[in-house]
């Protein structure tokens, strides 16, 4: 039996897998991850309505920490639009300040109008660093 011919025939039919290319395909780029996350529904949401600023800050801190620990990728904060006469968007501004100071909060923006518009903010969480 000519094992050389059998091996050549098998290699011709199946090829030689490029393990490096396969690994590269499994690792999406940060741009691919961003596009996927922008389309994704939030993993969890937090409604800050009827909270004081202090209560809202503590709730945001607990919510973001829990989200990061659970491996969530996208969160939604419902803070309201602050359209009451004579008042500013206090909870919206507080949410923005929290996001700017949170070490694992990444890109953020307002939800589409159907999902709360400027009364809700989505946040992409930074991926956990590999140990």
Residue ranges covered by each domain of the chain: 40-125
In the three-class reduction of DSSP (H, G, I as helix; E, B as strand; rest coil), residue 128 is classed as coil
Please give the Cα distance from 99 to 38 (Å, whole number): 17
User: How far is 66 from 61, CA to CA, in rounded Å?
Assistant: 9
**79, 52 contact by CB (below 8 A):** no
Strand-pair partners of 120: 78
Residue 60: per-residue pLDDT: 97
**DSSP-assigned letters across all residues of 23-89:** HHHHS--HHHHHHHHHHSPPSEEEE-TT--HHHHHHHHHHHHHHHHHTT--EEEEE-----STT---
> Tell me, what's the pLDDT at 119?
84
**CATH no. for 40-125:** 3.30.1370.110
Tokens in use for 90?
């206090």
- Tell me the per-residue pLDDT of 44-101, one tens digit each, with 9 for 90 and over: 999 999 999 999 999 999 999 999 999 999 999 999 877 665 566 789 999 999 999 9
Q: Which residues, other chains included, contact 17 with Cβ-Cβ below 8 Å and sequence gap of 6+?
A: none
């Amino acid at each position: 039996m000519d094992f050389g011919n059998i091996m050549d025939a098998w290699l011709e039919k199946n090829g030689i897998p490029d393990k490096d290319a396969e690994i590269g395909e499994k690792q999406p780029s940060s741009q691919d991850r961003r596009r996927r996350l922008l389309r994704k529904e939030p993993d969890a949401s937090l409604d800050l309505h009827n909270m004081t600023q202090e209560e809202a800050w503590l709730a945001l801190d607990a919510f973001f920490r829990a989200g990061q620990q659970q491996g969530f990728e996208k969160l939604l904060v419902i803070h309201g639009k602050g359209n009451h006469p004579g008042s500013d968007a206090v909870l919206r501004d507080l949410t923005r300040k929290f996001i700017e100071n949170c070490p694992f909060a990444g890109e953020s923006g307002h939800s589409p109008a159907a999902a709360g518009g400027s009364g809700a903010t989505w946040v992409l969480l930074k991926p956990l660093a590999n140990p």
